[in-house]
Structure 1
């Protein structure tokens, strides 16, 4: 039973950039072959084969009420402003500035420890490496320039400063870089970078990696080449507003570009410093190794920024960060991987009203046991693989996202259960509108070892529209369960009309009869329970 399904709601499509791209003929609909399943152990092969060959499913119509859900409540962004950031620090107590040996400072040990790391700064400073230290109160960048020798920090033109040493804000220190600083250039040749253990406020300014030999930005040339960077440690509070940063970061731990990180475990235990936090708002980041990275960070706000043409990732919160707000950002042109990705137990966070497009891989990714997150009202389009991807990350809600003209799937869900997809719009993607599948990860380079029985996928899809996706609207391989209700399907690319793939294709007539003709909810679940398969 193949039929074209009309829109039951009679909706009109909003006039947006997405619509212009679609109707202007700028769709990217290239089909890309799916990757081969990696080799697995013989035992795993048997179990996965059993799961994949299970084609005996119940098709029933449950009550609609349990599927009902109110719109997610999203954080209020009105308080995250330049004016609020400017009130975050106490300027009443003057701080101290000194020049000290790098190896004497805990906040710099990451860069002078094993693997002969200190050689980098010995070579650049041509001697035992020093750093500018700020402590015991408030200083502005102008205060620092007055108190250190000019060969370490100087004003080369009105409002433009060049730093030729690393700068460390200790836990008792406060550094402000404001609109009096048109630009702070961190010298690539001299090995300059900025680290904070205390409070750092940067507003209405620029912070750039700078090549003095080329008299221009320290633009990316190769991953291993040192470029200046910004890092804040455990216990720090950081506010960046209305600022531009460029040409920062390289492929070295904690040196990625703009990084917010707890200390390494041993140091964190000794110092007993809380998780770092802060805001980055209404700013612009380009040509960074990572536009943003965080590790074990709490309640950080990334709002209203532009991340363009960064190298590996645009926005990349990592291990055990939680309570994050990633909202109203524009992320595009990421050269190697994803626009926005949260990975390794990044929980209870909000990703909403962002635009992520033209990135080398996916627009938005939830990865490696990142749970309890809300992804809502994002525009995800023209990315070079999937629009939104979930890898091994259950218990997440996707609501009201528009996922258009991505080269592979609109929304892809792998090895993830209890994924709720409500009111999402997936149109003109190169493969499926929504694709759910299981994959055994034995012998892969991922650090999550899934038991074959844990390689499960379950989805609830309610409302929304799936239109003109090249391979079809939906494909779910060997699901633990799928629930569908009130899903509109439009503009099939096949002349035969709407055509499901996977388990849904095997039961298409029953599903469409319940879903479309009777306007009921549909539950698809295996006749054999997972507990029976285990025996």
Structure 2
């Protein structure tokens, strides 16, 4: 077994040059490993069009095997690996991503999971027991959206801009310190301009709602009309939201009808800042979502992140324009999660979206006619359970897609059909996922697509009559395809290929790098009656075949580079290994570099006393110790060291650190005293925190005044901290004591001059002039919009340019005409076999309906299925 060297030596996204030992061997027809150099063979088959070229041309017939730190390890491989070497030798060389390596097909390490045991606790009747039954609270405020730094500025900016442009109120309803249901809320507010009751069970919500970490909102057996026109609203939350057997519908107030989505030109569908905002639900860090048996219709629009309809997100730091510590503190509490069981989601921008989410269950939902995706977990979400959903007619993309580091997720027993693109797709470094017992049919692209994602298990799926391939594996290693039924697909049953996608200029390759290497383990599948080849591979993809049942009508069972080895495969009764060529090493994602602890571990060697007089990074080091190294003690000591140097940022951050550890009211007041201390030492914007802190924890006006008194008493004694650990920090000089005395006197003079009643009122004075949307912030947001759009616009221009070249090129026209003829033959094949695959599908539909209905109160039937199957 070849050991894969973990390449983690990166700085500024560049690999440090280093040397390793590898086996260098000639590769060619008899190995059987060969580079893609059969040019005459392929030119004979079809005319060439260079503009369409996405092949990978490896430079020579020499390839490396392995990359070892020691000569002995390479030598051991040379003498133990069963391989038909040709003139092998061990060489020491500098690693490069241009080097070509022998790729060995290896099976996925993902294990089979018992689905029934996994989902038994997610039945609607069990989750309903978690719904609150008692409602209380008076924490209901109306706050201008521009004065509420508890949500990501990037998300609320487009609403704010729209409100200001149309002279609409910018106020948002804030819920805190209570558990509210819609009836309780309506009676407490008693204002039709905010929430209007139009029948016993129907309400119109006319203002945006923010649910704080100390609040919950419960909606049961209601119809909720979400104002979309003339004033679009939203519901965002760090707290909890519960909804059962209710409808949430976008609403045009003036016309008193469902608010249809505005027309969006195809070329602007994915651009940012182009669409009118529409209502959506969005849960942030540590939020809890319980959506059981509801209907969601017309939600979402396309913007930066998670504006798509129903979403949960833990924001990455590069998207947080809001730098206020209230939001930063809230965003560090933990990943959001939710239970989305038995809902109907249609005509939304997307059905469900999440990013950096924790374990969540998406089970028994019916999703169709959503504009882009039906289910779209994204960006480092882990341990998701996507089971027994019906996902159909996604208008511009996939039924189910997981993308960018979505690992350890189960996609099982879903029925995904008639979507614009793939039925199920794994994308951008999504690994260790289990794709089990799904039915994917009639999709516009592939039944199951694995792109740039390693080490996944695709098992026991039924993949029928998709308009391109049954399964495709692209630029992905160590994927196992086992015990699947793959039939009547209009191109190939399984296609395994390495592809050059560098031309995709809209893709950020720093965030989403990929390796030009592919391998697949294909065993015990039933593959028959696909239009072209049942199994094919291209561009030196490695492949292992064993115990597959294959039957083809028009073409050989094996295509691409396997075609050359058909006699050998038949001789071995379908048991065959084809080694590949590629570079299996993957540059680190820029996201991973930011999140990695490897580059930060050296920080632990820094002694606290070493830089008492000249160090300005104590706040940063403390965050490194706490967040990256999970060492609260070192972090606390580092904060205290910074405080002893009179740094207000350390006082401020230390206050939030203590708040995160606080268990009692006394602890919280003590934590607050350090935030107040930072104000005295110059951090005036912390006064915003004082004004709004009641939304994130149960601290009131009296507690705040108490904290002020504690702070003043501490500083009056010449102290900076009430903690015995202070003794190990930097000593207070007479100069520092003079500064403490001076800062306190200046602050008390300001308080006296302002003529406020108490310390709390001081925050009101500052708050009156506060606005989130400064010119600087607006410029940053517009720059993010620009960056988000520029790559997509350039790519669309590139496609136009390519199409123009194709139209003026004889060889390209030949290829285009051949593709058109092939397309016509596919349509003919599809029509001639329609009765057969529909008959086959009908054998499975009842089973999947029954599986989905186990988690639904409102059951679905065949009528809905056949309606959604219509093109």
TM-score (norm 1): 0.82
Instruction: Please identify the structure whose Cα radius of gyration is greater.
Output: 2
1:246-395 pair list within 5 angstroms: 246-253=297-304, 254-265=306-317, 266=320, 269-271=328-330, 272-395=332-455
| Mapped pair 1:399 → 2:410 | no
> Which residue of 2 is the match for residue 486 of structure 1?
547
**In 2 relative to 1, CA 127–454 (structure 1 residues): closer, same or farther, beyond 3 Å?**
closer
Aligned-partner Cα distance in 2 for 1:230–1:251? 14
CA displacement, residues 416-444 of structure 1 (integer Å, 9 cap, x when unaligned): 01010010111010100000111122232
Task: Write 1 or 2 for the structure with the bigger share of strand.
Answer: 1
Aligned-partner Cα distance in 1 for 2:59–2:217? 56
**In 2 relative to 1, CA 228–468 (structure 1 residues): closer, same or farther, beyond 3 Å?**
same
SS where residue 446 of structure 1 aligns? coil
Kept in 2: contact 1:325–1:350 (CA 8 A): yes
Which piece of structure 1 moves more, 336-345 or 266-275?
266-275
CA displacement, residues 492-518 of structure 1 (integer Å, 9 cap, x when unaligned): 121xx64311121110011122125xx
Query: Aligned-pair distance for 1:446?
Result: 2.2
| Mapped pair 1:103 → 2:146 | yes
SS where residue 76 of structure 1 aligns? helix
Aligned-partner Cα distance in 2 for 1:234–1:467? 47
Query: Aligned-pair distance for 1:402?
Result: 0.7
Q: For structure 1, list consecutive stretches of 5 or more residues without a partner in the other structure.
A: 1-32, 60-64
SS where residue 163 of structure 2 aligns? helix
Aligned-partner Cα distance in 2 for 1:109–1:472? 50
> Which residue of 2 is the match for residue 512 of structure 1?
570
Aligned-partner Cα distance in 1 for 2:108–2:502? 35
Aligned-partner Cα distance in 1 for 2:399–2:246? 25
Kept in 1: contact 2:286–2:336 (CA 8 A): yes
1:165-204 pair list within 5 angstroms: 165-179=207-221, 181-204=222-245
Aligned-partner Cα distance in 2 for 1:80–1:278? 11
Aligned-partner Cα distance in 2 for 1:36–1:337? 28
- Aligned partner (choices 485, 502, 505) of residue 442 of structure 1: 502
Kept in 1: contact 2:544–2:577 (CA 8 A): yes
Which piece of structure 1 moves more, 468-477 or 452-461?
452-461
**In 2 relative to 1, CA 121–451 (structure 1 residues): closer, same or farther, beyond 3 Å?**
closer
Query: Aligned-pair distance for 1:464?
Result: 1.7
- Aligned partner (choices 277, 290, 313) of residue 226 of structure 1: 277
Kept in 2: contact 1:207–1:246 (CA 8 A): yes
| Mapped pair 1:413 → 2:473 | yes
Query: Aligned-pair distance for 1:51?
Result: 10
Kept in 2: contact 1:47–1:453 (CA 8 A): no
Kept in 1: contact 2:396–2:420 (CA 8 A): yes
Q: For structure 2, list consecutive stretches of 5 or more residues without a partner in the other structure.
A: 1-46, 64-82, 86-105, 265-274, 585-871
Aligned-partner Cα distance in 2 for 1:212–1:51? 70
Aligned-partner Cα distance in 1 for 2:303–2:216? 26
| Mapped pair 1:152 → 2:194 | yes
Aligned-partner Cα distance in 2 for 1:68–1:324? 18
**In 2 relative to 1, CA 105–305 (structure 1 residues): closer, same or farther, beyond 3 Å?**
same
Aligned-partner Cα distance in 2 for 1:69–1:321? 18
Aligned-partner Cα distance in 1 for 2:283–2:528? 45
Aligned-partner Cα distance in 1 for 2:184–2:547? 63
TM-score (norm 2): 0.51
- Aligned partner (choices 547, 567, 577) of residue 523 of structure 1: 577
For these two proteins, the number of residue pairs brought into alignment is 476
Aligned-partner Cα distance in 1 for 2:213–2:537? 51
Kept in 1: contact 2:196–2:203 (CA 8 A): yes
SS where residue 313 of structure 1 aligns? coil
SS where residue 362 of structure 1 aligns? coil
